[in-house]
A and B are shown apart, each in its own frame.
Chain A
Amino acid sequence: MAWFEFPKEKPAIPPAKALWAICPKCKSHFEKKTWKENNSICPKCNYHGRLSARERIAQIADEGSFTELFREVSYSDHLDFHDATGSYKSKIDATIAKSGETESIVAGTCEIGGHKAMLCVMDFSFMGGSLGTGTGERIARACRQAVEERRPLVIFSASGGARMHEGILSLMQMAKTSAAIAKLKEAGLPYISVLTDPTTGGVSASYAMLGDINITEPKALIGFAGRRVIENTIHQKLPDDFQSAEYLEKHGFIDKIVERSRLKGFIAKMLGLWGF
């Protein structure tokens, strides 16, 4: 018998990424447990990390008050879209199976600190929070029902922009949602837009920027064009804080940066101040 032998099975060492969370802003390492316990907020730099739509709803809607709507409204593969890695249908069906969500936004009625509201929350983990026809249709329906039931509208955005797999009709969702929001505002109802990390492209250039107030969380990325696209266009390096929540507030496009712990209270307070 040899004086050593290879173990037949490797001991079960969990991969590093199962244990550690890395803050995407300051690159500090934390135990995943610490990151979660801190509500996905970086303990070091206060970057407010991404939440799933369900996590967000749990934090914003009063307990037991959320009734989901329009779940049957999902994606459409009207282009029979295929790219280098396969079909759109197989990709999004896999996302649906994995996530349990059927679109990049979850909509429903709820109460926020006792104020009734229509709440829509985007989920960045669903196809990058992209705006597809199902997403746009859910928002349009939410606006119409909000008008019928006299509910203020609150949308949490988190998106890379329009969903190119759905072609021109995804672009048209920008027009459709903006029109629906215009009608809601004309009906005298408030719309609070919360732009969370990240909100860019066709979503920032439509409903996300149309709030009666636009609010955000610390260090969220908000912009129209991507940083690399801009740097390649103007052949200049952009400042580190370019397109950050703080940068947008300084330039006048954000009403307020609100800490996550205060977000629900702030929304409820504004709705109360406005008489809703």
Chain B
Amino acid sequence: MKRWLLPVALLLAGAAQADSTLPVSPLAYTQLPDPDQEAQAKALMETLRCLVCQGQSIADSDADMAGEMRALVRQRIAAGERPAQVRTWLMERYGDYVTYDPPLSWITAPLWIAPLALLALGLLIARRLFKGKAA
């Protein structure tokens, strides 16, 4: 085989396409007709993690899966479900990881307790310092 053929072939090769050609559900990019419901859906979407792009919420992401998750949220809200129910449905399937607003548990407790503990510690240190000065 000719030596130059491989680099040339590599240059000509395109990237393998690994995406569906199917369009996403219309509700991924269409707002609900009822502004109240749309506001609820939007607020919920902003707290749900895109599972394939992890640093973004599904409201921010253009990934197919995020689009289908938006469509799912809108469908369920339009069908009369409360945002909390939709969130619970997703958490049952993907765990707390799917929400940016995780419930209080032993793992998340330090997030709430640590600032209070540090504040108390700060107050304690400040009191001691000022007392020392006054004396």
| Chain A bound to chain B | no
